[in-house]
Amino acid sequence: MEIPVFGQRVKRRREGLKLSVQELATRADTTYQTIWRIERGDLKEPSIVIAQRIASAMHVGVDYLLDMFHEPNDTGTKPKKATKGKRGRGRPARRG
């Protein structure tokens, strides 16, 4: 089973901060089981409240944990290329 990016990043960040699963759970005001299930990929879509608590406890934004902007991960690999929208070439839409 492939672990979602959210679970991978939670685990990587937690280990980088040298926190145990229980320490993170306590800081995020959730249970050991919730963190453990997220990291294993058993809980693929935690509530936004849980995601925010976990992110806050680890001093990152939810966007980082969700890889919303395809930032380089903690292993130093390059981010994925963003796909172009309808307008292409990155130009903003005209106003007015």
For residue 81, what pLDDT is reported? 45
- Range of the structural domain that residue 47 is part of: 5-66
Count of residues making up the chain: 96
Helix H or strand E segment including 56: helix 48-57
The rounded radius of gyration (Å) of the Cα atoms in the chain is: 16
- For position 74, what pLDDT does the model report? 52
- CATH number of the domain that 11 lies in? 1.10.260.40
pLDDT the model gives residue 92 = 53
Q: What is the mean pLDDT of each run of 10 residues along the chain (96 residues)?
A: 88 96 98 97 94 97 86 49 47 56
DSSP code per residue over 32-45: HHHHHHHHHTSS-S
Confidence (pLDDT) at 12: 95
**3 state SS of 59:** coil
Q: How many domains does the chain have?
A: 1
